[in-house]
Amino acid sequence: MTSLDQIIDDFTFLDDWEDRYRYVIELGKALPDLAEEKKTAANKVMGCASQVWLVTHTDGNADNPVMTFEGDSDAHIVRGLVAIVLAAYSGKTAAAITALDALEVFGKIGLVENLSAQRSNGLRSMVNRIREEARVRVAA
């Protein structure tokens, strides 16, 4: 999977939003498919216009577990957004996830401002769900 730092560098290099848009779609194509049995109502992200599923895995320290995520969408551009969100959060501790506001990072690279309102809301819903799951695990 492409790292968040690499994605930020690539966005900085790409001047034109159309090129960035194509890059997001390519990131989505590289995202592993989510198994059909994981595409459940419990894993569905509410607030997304497209169908989006996120699966959370935790490992290690009960007070501050490492969290990894799988995700998928039925829309090409949204699948790319899922890949970017996973690059930001997957493999980090719950405390690190609660401390990172990926929407701020996405704003700095111009990702949010170039999305439709529906896609921005969906992106926000994905980030909020991941951060809330991490917050619950830190508080437990």
Catalytic residue among 7, 27, 48, 130: 48
Work out the number of other CB atoms within 10 angstroms of the CB of residue 73: 24
Spatial contact of 86 and 31, defined as CB atoms under 8 Å apart = yes
Give the contacts of 68 (CB within 8 A, at least 6 positions apart).
56, 57, 59, 90, 91
Residue 69 designated active-site: no
**Separation of alpha carbons 56 and 60, rounded Å:** 14
Give the contacts of 13 (CB within 8 A, at least 6 positions apart).
none
Spatial contact of 100 and 138, defined as CB atoms under 8 Å apart = no
Q: Which amino acids are annotated catalytic?
A: 48
